[in-house]
Each structure stands twice: as C-alpha cells, then as structure tokens.
Amino acid sequence: MRNRPRFVRDIALSNNAADRYYAASFGKDAAFQREIKPKRERAAPDPTIPSEHQSQSAVVAWWAIACKRYSLPHFALFAIPNGGARDAITGSRLKAEGVRAGILDLMLAVKRGLQGGLFIEMKKRGNYASAEQKEVMHYLSIAGYSSIICHSADEAISAIEAYLSS
C-alpha cells in the first residue's frame, strides 16, 4: 500500500511537485502552484518547568505514602482521565460513556465539614483554566465540593493537607 500524505501541507507540496513535473514534460510553466508558508518555529519547552503529567504523578506518588498518616485508603485520591489526544472513534465512545469537557484532574473523596470532597485541576505553570473548567468549578462549589487549580505538585500537596486539616 502506498504511503499517502496525512497533512494538508504535505498534500499541497505533493501537488505542486506533480504540477511542475507534468508542466516540464510538455515544456510549459507550472500553472497551479499553491503558495506554501514555511512551518512555524515552536518554542522549545522549558525543561525546568514540570509538565502537568509530572506534577500530577508526583502528587499521586506522595499520596500513596501520605494516606496512611490520615488513616485513609490510597484510592481516596484518584485521577479522572478526561484529557489527552484520541482518535475520533475513541473520543466518540468516551463521550457516550460520560466523558465531559472541563472535569478536573483529581478528586479526593473525603468529606470534611460541609465539603463533600476536593477536586484538583493540575496546570503547567503559565496555563490557565478553560471556560468549561471554570463553569465546572462554579457548579462544584454550589454542590458542596471544594475545588482548586494547582500549578505544581507542591501546591496540590499543600491544598490536600489544608483540606484534610480543616
């Protein structure tokens, strides 16, 4: 099976090459050349800033040890896998199963006072909550849950400790 170009830019490059080839075959100028802009330069990620994955993994690893101090099971803190790149079929299946935009990353299922639990949204430094996440956080506060956005594992750990000591 032939390898076909997957991106519009690659298809345009291929079509331009074919146009030039056939035009040269007949001694004419290529007539249908599409202008293709150069690829944008991406800024290299700062290796000193941990990713959301790294921060969240650090929080979960800390909890595996810290849960004993609070006499809570390790599964009281769990991830809600809503994000990530998926193909259309998987995305459609997950949507049918109840995956929703804006749901936060972690939940600590421990009641404290009037709060039914703590939801945590992990963000890489410099990233902010989406409109959907803000809407979910507003609903959660009305429904009797605490929620917080944390930009590092240390922030999330401090938030969990503060919540559990309340």
Q: Taking the domains of the chain in order of start, what are their residue ranges?
A: 7-42, 52-165
pLDDT given for residue 136 in this prediction: 97
Cα–Cα distance, 46 to 58 (Å, whole number): 18
- Per-residue model confidence (pLDDT) at position 46: 85
pLDDT at 4: 67
| pLDDT tens, N- to C-terminus, the chain (166 residues) | 567 657 788 888 888 888 888 888 888 888 878 888 888 888 888 888 899 999 999 999 999 999 999 999 999 999 998 877 778 888 888 889 888 889 999 999 999 999 999 999 999 988 999 999 999 999 999 999 999 999 999 999 999 999 999 8
Pick the CATH number of 52-165 from 3.40.1350.10, 3.30.70.3270, 3.30.390.50, 3.40.50.720: 3.40.1350.10
Q: To which H or E segment does residue 19 belong?
A: helix 8-25
Q: Under 8 Å CB-to-CB from 70, ≥6 apart: which residues?
A: 110, 164
Query: Beta-strand (E) ranges in 44-140?
Result: 77-79, 106-108, 118-122
Contacts of 12-21 with C-beta under 8 Å, sequence gap 24+, read 12/36
pTM for the predicted model, two decimal places? 0.73
**pLDDT score at 145:** 98
Quick one: pLDDT at residue 140?
97
